Amino acid sequence: MFGEASPLRCGQSRLELREQHVSQLPIPKMPAAAGKRLAALGEACSNAAKQRFEIQSAVRRRIADLAPPERAKLTGKLEAWRELDFAAFRAEIERAFRAEI
């Protein structure tokens, strides 16, 4: 079962997770307390992701507020603002909107 691999070019192989192989894997029973803890952690992760998305959306809206009406579209770098340090962010605002912050 674990030796199942498809050949690729150059003699390399890759592992494929096909149903006929994966369906045979045993899934251990989880104690109820662990299941509840896992569900709580999953919900916390989901809530944190929603909150992060809301913050990122709010920041993108505020960035657009810096733009003159004719240049209201954000550049790719400004869409990905969280990947920029502050100096690069300022430089991109100046380049895209001809404005300083």
pLDDT by residue (tens digit) across 76-94? 999 999 999 999 999 999 9
Q: Quick one: pLDDT at residue 4? A: 56
- Please, are residues 82 and 56 in contact by the beta-carbon 8 Å criterion? yes
Q: Is residue 8 part of a domain?
A: no
Instruction: Look at residue 7 and tell me if it is in a domain.
Output: no
In this structure, is residue 41 part of a structural domain? yes
* Tokens of residue 56, six digits: 């990122």
Q: What is the pLDDT of residue 7?
A: 64
SS3 string, the chain, reads CCCCEEECHHHCEEECCCHHHHCCCCCCCCCHHHHHHHHHHHHHHHHHHHHHHHHHHHHHHHHHHCCCHHHCCCCHHHHCHHHCCHHHHHHHHHHHHCCCC
Mean pLDDT computed over every residue of the chain: 85
In a domain, 79, yes or no: yes
pLDDT value of position 9: 67
Would you place residue 3 in the very low, low, confident or very high pLDDT band (cuts 50, 70, 90)?
Answer: low
Tell me the pLDDT tens digit for each residue of 29-50. 989 999 999 999 999 999 999 9
Domain contains 27: no
Number of domains comprising the chain: 1
Does residue 1 carry a pLDDT above 50? no
Parent domain of 96: 32-101
